[in-house]
Amino acid sequence: MKKNKIIICLILVLTLTQAFYTPPCCALDSETKDTEKIVITAEEIEKMNVTDIVDLLNRFPGIEAGESSARIHGSYDVKVLLDGRPLNDPLASYSKVKWNMVSLHYVDKIEIYKGMGAVAFGDSTSGGVICITSKEINGKQAKIKTEWGNLKTQQHSFNASLQAGIFGLGVSTEYYRTDGYRTNQDRDSKHMGIRTAYLPRNGPSGSISFDYTDEQRGNAGYPSYPTPHAREKSKSFATSLMMNADALTSNTYFGSYEQISEDPDKCLYSQSEGWSAGEDLSYRFTQGHLKDIAAGLSFRTDYIKGSYFDSYHEESYGLSFAKSTAFSSIPLICSFGLRANLYSAFKTVVNPEIKLSYDLKGTRFQVSAAKTNNVPPVLKRFYESSSTRANPFLGMEKASNISASAAIPCGNTMETGITFFYNEIADKIVYVRDAVGSQGMYRNFGKVTRKGAIMTINWKPAQWLNIKPSYEYLAAKDENTGLTLSGSPEHRAQFEIQYKPVSAFTATIIYEYTSKQYTRSDNTEQADPYNTVELKADYSFGKWRIFGRIKNLTDKSYLYGEGLPAPPRTWLIGMSKDF
């Protein structure tokens, strides 16, 4: 309560200052002034020699991505958007992300907000937000790419776009197949996307996109409790309509989903399906007393039904405003905003966000504070199984984020950065087992804190050499029990060296260290510390490109934080051609 009052008072003071004293302002350049926001361009993605979006995100300190997950500063409550439409799976009982809908060739820009974004993007953002923007259709382009690796892994993609006057058409297809490194860990995934665009030189513009994915995979289970015949199937269709008219932006989206889980050894068959639809409107005032204020209005409706629960429907609404002011007398930028979230299933909440940025002779300092709320997925509230009872009264989590960061240039060849962060979640959702019997249910219980620091260095001593060491410290604790959260290593370090003797050839070696982490919430089991080495190289000639990668070069055996075994040495080679 005390923290809420402090944040609200700060916003009121800044609002009154703006009302009674309006200093000369200049435009806010968020791309260069925000030290807690990572922006990755298409050119940088091409240079990084990554195979997919998961591989790319894991290159950045403080960010972890899995086959269907994203975690920032230790929190899985991360909202992922592709051209404004959510990629978070509404059928999952956890924060599952449908990464197979992202084709890196079509990506123009990726923006990562660490611990921020609640005002602009709504709930379930206590970890942060990842915004993926597709390239504009420009001219006539095509690219084919094929990759092969051990464990019978293969990945093939084709992308093409064509512009005819003010109209554009783009097509992308991708196929992925692997046997996996454990019994019943195979995966077969297909994706197809179509995008049309209306791009006049002047006036409103817009685009419509359609995406379809189909995935079948095995579920190997835990080593002590293997499930050699458990299978999962999922299908999804998503479409979105984006329109831009000067200061007004509109994004309308719809997605339908189906998921099947079965295990004949346990006589288990579970099916769930549903759809989501929504609208996001934003407008930035450019004149008058409301100049530089960004206002937003959003609506979302979700429908879901399954073999273990009745059909269910709920709605949510959002109303937000934000303003950024750059003072000309001092190098200070102030950004603040408020968002009200209204729900059919929960109480209305109002979340503030504030950020101060200061530039001192090239060194950028930033302090930010935000409130948000994490909404429990429908399945977590209504799903029942042999071990879980439904809890339709499960409430939302309430989160507070505070961070301070600095980006410090050291001459023309080096920049260092440091970020301190603190995340607190009240009414944390945890699984509580019954005193008698094997069942339990999810309940709102207790408080969880995550605090730590991230330090990075980007040093380029020569045109042909780039060195990037980084270190992350994370203390994640359940304040009621005093125990460390499972899957949260206290120390992580990365050391990357990129060697580029000529423009056509790049070689990169990446060393990573992860300290021990508990694999159970009661801290009775743990995964030992481990080191991994990754080696990658690529060579371009004309419109051709040849590349290769070896992960876990030393063939180290180790466990992930959830207690699952990590992959052995894996290799991949491939080639691509632009037409």
Give the pLDDT confidence score for residue 468 in this predicted structure: 94
Cβ-based neighbours of 280, under 8 Å, separated by 6 or more = 84, 250, 251, 296, 297, 298
The least confident of 20-34, 237-251, 393-407, 533-547 is 20-34
The least confident of 163-167, 434-438, 478-482 is 434-438
What band does 371 get if pLDDT is binned at 50, 70 and 90? very high
Which of 140-144, 328-332, 436-440 is predicted most confidently? 140-144
Mean pLDDT to the nearest integer, 347-360:
93
The least confident of 114-123, 231-240, 383-392, 478-487 is 383-392
**pLDDT tens by residue, 182-192:** 999 999 999 99
For residue 43, pLDDT over 90 is answered with no
User: What is the residue-averaged pLDDT of the chain?
Assistant: 87
For residue 15, pLDDT over 80 is answered with no
Give the pLDDT confidence score for residue 437 in this predicted structure: 59
Number of CB atoms found within 10 A of residue 174's CB: 23
Mean pLDDT to the nearest integer, 234-244:
92
What band does 467 get if pLDDT is binned at 50, 70 and 90? very high
For residue 23, pLDDT over 90 is answered with no
Mean pLDDT to the nearest integer, 431-444:
72
The larger pLDDT score, comparing residue 379 to residue 544, is at 544
Give the pLDDT confidence score for residue 93 in this predicted structure: 67
C-alpha 58/C-alpha 65 separation (Å) is 6
**pLDDT tens by residue, 310-347:** 888 999 999 999 998 888 788 899 999 999 999 999 99
3-state SS record for 316-361: EEEEEEEEEEEECCCCEEEEEEEEEEEECCCCCEEEEEEEEEEEEC
Give the pLDDT confidence score for residue 129 in this predicted structure: 94
The CATH code of the domain at 2-578 is: 2.40.170.20
Give the pLDDT confidence score for residue 89 in this predicted structure: 82
The fraction of the chain above a pLDDT of 70, given in percent, is 92
Give the pLDDT confidence score for residue 25 in this predicted structure: 31
| 498 φ, ψ (degrees, to nearest 5) | -115, 125
Q: What's the token pair of residue 273?
A: 């399906």
Cβ-based neighbours of 263, under 8 Å, separated by 6 or more = 219, 227, 229, 230, 231
The least confident of 54-58, 94-98, 161-165 is 94-98
Nearest CA to 38 among 107, 97, 103, 114? 114
User: Across-strand partners of 402?
Assistant: 369, 422
- pTM of this prediction? 0.85
Mean pLDDT to the nearest integer, 257-267:
89
For residue 32, pLDDT over 90 is answered with no
Residue count of the chain:
579
| 574 φ, ψ (degrees, to nearest 5) | -165, 175
From residue 408, alpha-carbon distances to 32, 358, 363, 413, 489 in Å are 13, 12, 5, 12, 27
What band does 47 get if pLDDT is binned at 50, 70 and 90? confident
**pLDDT tens by residue, 551-572:** 999 999 999 887 889 999 999 9
**pLDDT tens by residue, 376-428:** 888 788 877 656 778 888 999 999 999 999 999 988 899 999 999 999 999 98
Hey, where are the domains in the chain?
2-578
Mean pLDDT to the nearest integer, 470-495:
92
What band does 17 get if pLDDT is binned at 50, 70 and 90? very low
Give the pLDDT confidence score for residue 31 in this predicted structure: 39
From residue 551, alpha-carbon distances to 37, 177, 517 in Å are 28, 18, 21
Q: What's the token pair of residue 160?
A: 């093409």
Mean pLDDT to the nearest integer, 287-310:
87
